[in-house]
Amino acid sequence: MTDGSFARVTCARATVQIELNRPDHGNALSATLVEGLIEALAAAESDANIDTVVLRGAGRHFCTGFDLQGIEQHSDGDLLHRFVRIETLLSMIWGTRLRTVAIGTGRTWGAGADLFTACDVRIAPAECRFRFPGAGFGLVLGTRRLAVRVGEDKARLWTTTGVEFTFAEAVAAGLVTHVSDDISSVDTVLAGLPTISVDTVTLRALNEASRRDESDRDLALLTRSASRPGLKKRILAYAQGRQSDRSRAAAAGA
């Protein structure tokens, strides 16, 4: 999808860059943005000349997570469908034959942190911040993939507390694979990565051989957690709690 309001796609040599383009909303994952990302990834996957896809956010943040805008007008069923589509996107990234590169910036939170986690190469500058708060409203999304990246104990700690953790901790745990303060262009980002030297068919076979497909289980866990009655109520309570935290912090700093 190339609509400038959502996901922008640019190509150079064997690389596709997909930009989350909602900077005024912290690149939060609206339903339209998720569908645009799925469409762009599927197009890159089907192009035999492409071997690498780079995900980055426009503006200050990579992705601040699930878009809460207008949530009052959504039903539990609407929200369930949106989370299923996010899990579909994450599963596509995890299972693609492409090398996936995420450039974390600013707030890389919630479903945005899950998007970052699903990628093979995870680059970030020291100012990047991470949170996995979804379990705070009863959602199980991306947890298994996070555990693969950083280990079961660390994944459990980060998801059960939902706290923002330090960049140094993200690097030490392996969530961030490459530290770089120069992320100005795709060429700069890819300069330090080795060139892929196998063909498309071999790339797919290598991925199948090295990574277990647990997409059905991941989807089942997500659906079970999101299907529990009161999803909208739990998300609203979480959002109100976050607003209260911000108000207290602002008052303390006054």
Burial of 203 (0-12, 13-18, 19+ CB in 10 A): middle
Q: Exposed/middle/buried for 193, CB within 10 Å: 0-12, 13-18, 19+?
A: middle
Predicted confidence (pLDDT) at residue 4 exceeds the cutoff of 50: no
Q: Give the orientation angle of helix 31-46 with respect to helix 76-95, to 10 degrees.
A: 20
Mark residue 146 as left, alpha or beta (left: phi above 0; alpha: psi -120 to 50; beta: remaining).
alpha
pLDDT band for position 1 (50/70/90)?
very low
Residue 207 falls inside a structural domain: no
* The predicted structure's pLDDT at residue 129: 95
User: Which domain range does residue 168 map to?
Assistant: 7-182
Q: pLDDT tens digits, residue range 53-111? A: 999 999 999 999 999 999 999 999 999 999 999 999 999 999 999 999 999 999 999 99
Residue 246 inside a domain? The answer is no
Residue 195 lies in a domain: no
Question: How many independent structural domains does the chain possess?
Answer: 1
Q: pTM for the complete prediction?
A: 0.90
CB 114 within 8 A of CB 90: yes
Question: Is residue 115 assigned to a domain?
Answer: yes
pLDDT tens, residue by residue, 137-178: 899 999 999 999 999 999 999 999 999 998 999 999 999 999
Domain presence at residue 112:
yes
CA distance 114 to 129: 13
What CATH number has the domain bearing residue 51? 3.90.226.10
Q: Is residue 11 part of a domain?
A: yes
Query: In this structure, are residues 8 and 18 in contact, taking their beta carbons and an 8 Å threshold?
Result: yes
Beta carbons of 53 and 100 less than 8 angstroms apart: yes
Across residues 120-134, what is the average pLDDT?
95
Judge whether 190 lies within some domain. Answer: no
Q: Please report whether residue 238 resides in a domain.
A: no
